[in-house]
Chains A and B, each alone.
Chain A
């Protein structure tokens, strides 16, 4: 059982990285007051461009950077439409997801059967050798790929950036009350552009991690709703990076459970009472296709619980989220 738990934990940690990247990016963007519903599309674009770059150059680090840049490029459209042109953030975001899906399906066909040498498994440099010996969590946390370590390290970095640096405080003030921030001399437009671009780069990183490190392949539509789960995760996390990490592990665990469902056997003995009812029900609930719905259902459940527990003011959403900012010129 310890072996199974360690294996499951290992798989959960690996599956959580993509949520960590995407949710951190979304937190930065929303903290600045701009909802980005294009994450799913930006992740797809990051996944494909990173993969293609790695196939051509053989350099997965370059692929990872190109993936980030591609995510940021799509985010630039979002920033221009929502910040400069004051368009609806919802429309722009949903359409960018559609655009990203369309573009990657359009250009991705040629890359479907290609293989790469992606990010290798490694122990965390310097201290990893010793920490890997820790029971249960050792292997899971300290033997991984480079993007897994980067994502984990980014959680405190983003926390520190948002809550302990001047730029971070400017971001939060712009997301809460852009008029006042503007009066205090904060360049609202510049800060919002920065947030949206960072969010896009993080989404691109999430996608590149998916194709270069997690799956090490490109498949059409491979993000499979993870971008939307990340958007929901931000609400669950109440716009705080450290809570997003908890949520990411939760969803990583669900992903991992589904992949390992075959090895789980909970069926009762044929003679046991209720076996006739319980076993078919378990067969249904543990069917891989049905288990694939659990992350989505869990996301909805978590959303309902989070939103029902707090009223709007205590949930912690940035007050100016969804509101374009215009300077009053008269």
Chain B
């Protein structure tokens, strides 16, 4: 007689589990990350108080969170859209850099009034980001080259190119320090009234709305979803996976490119090497949390923006490295996929009486 663990696929998910998953995911991640805080002799409860309560009860903290949400939601959409089609864009960070380079270049070299210059710079940033993601998209669509590896590797290429440019051809205005000249006022976002965040916030919201409409209401959005859920059926229905793959990468990359210029025009004011705090990588957990809709991507982006802002608060207050945010991000998703297992299967310990006919079922430790 053997004891074995039986997994049974659930037909439907009990309500407590469906609603409990997000709670378990966040609480579990924070509990695990508390170990890292304790390791540096920081009281986790006090630290999380600083991170979340102080940030959310302070108007400045809220504004910072809103500002940080912008690049996160845009790069989040850059991952979300390919994910709808079943593809991985893990290189939004590189697309963001290419967008920042192109947008900054336009902002510095074209003289137009603000109402024309910012849209032009955004267009340039979107095209640059779109091309940067379009390369892996094309390679995937045409030859089936693994897009995870290519998008990621092109990120390293993009950051090196940006780094070369701000030390060479685009260097300006800061002595010998790496960095471009300051953007002219006409290329910098004005601050929105009342909200007091830069106007790039609207670009983020528009992108969410556009993506939501695209996915839910348009033919191409429908094709993206079908290709993502069942490429074979899509092909039989006469849909071109090649076109869909290219489309999601071009549009996704364009969103990441917008994020790059937004960050320069709204926050940084000049292009610097390594100006992004890894937004394009945080975009991956954001898209995973929000994979059921663009509005959820926005919510996830706001949550991670809060983590970023709280993380820097923590760094100032307790000297805790801001990389704690990266740790929490990864743990959130690791907890999420753990929780999803329990949504899919019910687990029971069973005594196997060996009454099955001669078969390999019921080997000791079969389910490891």
Contacts and interface: CB of A to CB of B under 8 A. Distances in A.
Contacts of B338: 81, 85, 87
Contacts of A84: 367-368
A39 to B, nearest CB: 11
Interface residues of A, number: 55
A101 B331 CA distance: 12
Contacts of B8: 329
B321 A109 contact: yes
A232 B149 contact: yes
B153 interface: yes
Given A87-B341, A229-B153, A289-B164, A92 B334 contact: yes
Given A83-B368, A189-B367, A225-B156, A99 B360 contact: no
Contact of B146 (A101, A107, A235): A235
Contacts of B88: 90, 94
Most chain B CB atoms below 10 A, which of A299, A303, A326: A303
Contacts of B221: none
Nearest to A328: B361
A102 B146 contact: no
A170 B165 CA distance: 52
A95 B148 contact: no
A289 B157 contact: no
Interface string B78-94: 00000000001010000
Given A190-B365, A300-B150, A303-B149, A289 B324 contact: no
Contacts of B144: 307, 312
Interface string B148-180: 111011101100110110011000000000000
B368 A189 contact: yes
B215 interface: no
Given A228-B149, A329-B6, A98 B284 contact: yes
B36 to A, nearest CB: 6
Contacts of B157: 293, 296-297
Contacts of B152: 225, 228
Interface string B1-36: 000001110000000000000000000000000001
A92 B337 CA distance: 8
A81 B161 CA distance: 37
Q: Decide if the interface of chain A is mainly helix, strand, loop or mixed.
A: helix
B365 A99 contact: no
Contacts of B321: 105-106, 109
Interface stretch (A124-132, A159-167, A180-188): A180-188
A197 interface: no
A102 B338 CA distance: 20
Given A87-B341, A91-B288, A326-B7, A37 B148 contact: yes
A327 interface: yes
Contact of B285 (A95, A103, A287): A95
Interface in B310-368: 321, 323-327, 329-331, 333-334, 337-338, 340-341, 344, 360-361, 363, 365-368
Contacts of A225: 152-153, 156
B154 A300 contact: yes
B6 A98 contact: no
Q: Decide if the interface of chain B is mainly helix, strand, loop or mixed.
A: helix
B150 A98 contact: no
Given A90-B148, A106-B323, A190 B361 contact: no
A187 B156 contact: no
Contact of A287 (B143, B153, B164, B366): B164
A289 B160 contact: yes
Contacts of A88: 337
Given A300-B153, A327-B366, A307 B145 contact: yes
A247 to B, nearest CB: 13
Contacts of A95: 284-285, 330, 333-334
B281 interface: yes
Interface in B38-92: 39, 88, 90
A23 interface: no
A181 to B, nearest CB: 11
Given A94-B90, A95-B285, A327-B361, A102 B329 contact: yes
Nearest to B281: A98
B139 interface: yes
Contacts of B360: 182-183, 185
A184 to B, nearest CB: 9
B93 to A, nearest CB: 12
A103 B334 CA distance: 14
Contacts of B366: 187, 189, 327
A102 B330 contact: yes
Interface in A179-238: 182-183, 185, 187, 189-190, 193, 224-225, 228-229, 231-232, 235
B361 A293 contact: no
Contacts of A94: 88, 90, 148, 284
A296 B365 CA distance: 43
Interface string B177-210: 0000000000000000000000000000000000
Given A94-B90, A329-B361, A290 B330 contact: no
8 contacts: A37-B148, A88-B337, A95-B284, A98-B326, A101-B326, A102-B326, A106-B326, A307-B146
Interface of B: 6-8, 36, 39, 88, 90, 139, 143-146, 148-150, 152-154, 156-157, 160-161, 163-164, 167-168, 281, 284-285, 288, 321, 323-327, 329-331, 333-334, 337-338, 340-341, 344, 360-361, 363, 365-368
Q: Which 10 A-B pairs have the closest CB atoms?
A: A102-B326, A189-B368, A105-B323, A99-B330, A102-B327, A85-B341, A98-B330, A106-B323, A289-B164, A87-B337
